[in-house]
Amino acid sequence: MMRKTDFAFWTFLLMTVLAGATTVLNVSRTYSATSPNTELYKQLDLFGDVLERVRSDYVEKPDDTKLIESAINGMLSALDPHSAYLSRKNFRDMQVQTRGEFGGLGIEVTMENQVVKVVAPIDDTPAAKAGVQANDLITHLDDEQIVGLSLEEAVEKMRGPVNTPIKLTVVRKGVDEPIEIKIVRDVIRINAVKPRIEGDIAYVKVTTFNEQTHVNLVKSIEEMKSKIGSKLKGYIIDLRNNPGGLLDQAIAVSDDFLERGAIVITKGRNNEETQRSQARPGDVADGMKIIVLINGGSASASEIVAGALQDHERATIIGTRSFGKGSVQTIIPLGANGAIRLTTARYYTPRNRSIQAKGIDPDIIIEQELPEDLKGKLGVKPRGEASLRGHLRNGDTEEEISGSSAYVPQEPEKDTQLQFALNYLRGKVTAPPPKAEQAEQKKAETQTDSSK
């Protein structure tokens, strides 16, 4: 059995490696009372004692790797909701997400009644070319049943090296027998930018900030600009329910619409860690009017873009208060041991506003009415950083405000925020008065009615 001193030494060595140290330190159980790290060493001994006791006395033989990973993750998650340990698999998954491309089939899937259901095949991908259809139910992969697997497990099986084959067995409505579809995996690119033309307005939905976002956004705007021509009245950048992503992509997207000035300021623990990102000349929208849509699901990188364009008065922000995640996470690789995601800075808008646990307030507040069948359900309740346990406090003020609803109707005609934005750009509506002014007006009307 490993001795307590061995555990203490090993634990401290592990912590030293995680901190990026380049020297190996010898640790003894005899501590100097004047050492500034005495208490830390004692706590590491405590960790070693507990770990030894768990390994020797727990009712079942524990997995040492899982014990250590859980301990590391517990340490990081205790800091704030966004710091975490990433296992090798989770690190790979995160890299796929941020790169925006992977080896796979090209289908969007969901889980319905414990069965993997195709939401839609992505255009010009192996799945679309092979004939996979929306609402197909996938029951087997390479003749192996996947009913009962989690969605993540099923997706992991469908992804794989480019040019490798896979066979899907699907059940399709209106077809009596299951259908076998053979597909060869290819490079699938996640297009985070979904443009469409709304008559005389160019609309762009940005779903995340991965490595492809800036390039695809510029390309989409140029194409729509060319198609609409001289009738173009402006742009709508829809960041609702966009959870964020890469900081450099948020900076690049903001820069796409700004000619000069600061975009975002990041401040670490020490003053010398403060960094300021500046815009370069060039506006892809040629100075035309821009509306940015946000809601309670707009977080992090989305808030950087909204805050930068708002502070420079380059865009009108419409919707409801954003999520309020004003912190920056750095991914620190640990070689074969995965990585850690560590909060290393807070970010501030160009006017030095911290939105941590506060969010971005729209210039024009437009609430989206919830359908009766969704009212009171957990998934559509207001969302915000301030509601997360252990969140970082706002360093500038004690005032913290919860987020807002993240509900967006699938049908554009039922989308109150989008319809207002379209009419606002066309000059058909004007901004409603602030809520406080509305309340005073309603109070005055009530007093007038009672006096009659």
Sort 188 into a burial class: Cβ within 10 Å, 0-12 / 13-18 / 19+: buried
| Tokens 């060493």, residue located | 41
pLDDT reported for residue 369 = 87
User: 220, 277, 298, 300: which is the annotated catalytic residue?
Assistant: 300
pLDDT reported for residue 273 = 87
SS3 content of the chain, % helix, strand, coil (to 5): 35, 25, 40
Is 77 noted as a catalytic residue in this protein? no
pLDDT reported for residue 386 = 79
CATH H-level superfamily of 101-189: PDZ domain (2.30.42.10)
pLDDT reported for residue 113 = 78
User: 117, 205, 267, 325: which is the annotated catalytic residue?
Assistant: 325
pLDDT reported for residue 306 = 98
The residues of the chain that CATH labels 2.30.42.10 are: 101-189
Per residue in 23-78, pLDDT (tens digit) is: 333 333 455 555 667 888 888 899 999 999 999 999 999 999 999 999 998 999 89
Chain CA centroid to CA 370, Å: 23
Per residue in 144-190, pLDDT (tens digit) is: 998 888 887 888 899 888 999 999 999 998 899 999 999 999 998 87
What CATH topology corresponds to 193-435?
Answer: 2-enoyl-CoA Hydratase; Chain A, domain 1 (3.90.226)
The two three-digit tokens of residue 124, written as one number:
């010009």
Q: How many CB atoms are located within 10 Å of the residue 148 CB?
A: 9
pLDDT reported for residue 3 = 45
Q: CB-hemisphere CA count at 13 Å for 176?
A: 0
Helix (H) and strand (E) counts in the chain: 11, 19
pLDDT reported for residue 22 = 34
User: 255, 311, 358, 405: which is the annotated catalytic residue?
Assistant: 311
Is 300 noted as a catalytic residue in this protein? yes
The residues of the chain that CATH labels 3.90.226.10 are: 193-435
Is 28 noted as a catalytic residue in this protein? no
Given a contact cutoff of 8 angstroms between Cβ atoms, the answer to whether 309 and 255 are in contact is: no
Measured CA to CA, the distance from residue 168 to residue 407 in angstroms comes to: 34
In a 3-state reduction of DSSP, which class is residue 141? strand
Given a contact cutoff of 8 angstroms between Cβ atoms, the answer to whether 162 and 188 are in contact is: no
Residues 6+ apart with CB under 8 A from 220: 193, 195, 204
Given a cut of 70, the residues of the chain with pLDDT beneath it are: 1-36, 374, 376-383, 395-403, 433-452
